Amino acid sequence: MREEKIGKHKVVFHDDIEQMSINQFNKVNKYWMLSDSLGSDFADIDKMHLSRLTLVAGDKDKTVKEINNLRILVNNIINEVSPEQLAFVALIHSVDGKVVEDYSEDNLKRLMRELPLRVADVKKKRYVRKSTQS
């Protein structure tokens, strides 16, 4: 586990998947996957979606799928939902000694509101390592 000071809070993060509950591991993976495939902000529209649309423009089914992904991203942005940030918060083991047991989306959003997170905190997101055991 890794401890960090975020604002006035002592936050302990899991840094190995072996430390996580199955529910927590699934939430982290879910939000990382959404972040990787959909993106998290308007910059991702230019970086990912517009270039993908030009690549699949001749294939109607792939174009429709990409447009739907773009719609989900825009909806998430409008509703202030960031899969990247939710994945980061889902890595938290405890805040000020209180163990996080509820990894529902609503509780993760509550944690994001209560912790004074900065973009720089979230950009260091993928520090969890896979199990070192064979």
Residue 101 has pLDDT above 90, yes or no: yes
Give the pLDDT confidence of 70-91 residue by residue, as tens digits: 888 888 787 777 888 898 899 9
Residue 41 has pLDDT above 80, yes or no: no
- Contact between 85 and 126 (Cβ < 8 Å): no
Residue 76's pLDDT is what?
Answer: 78
pTM over 0.85: no
Residue 98's pLDDT is what?
Answer: 97
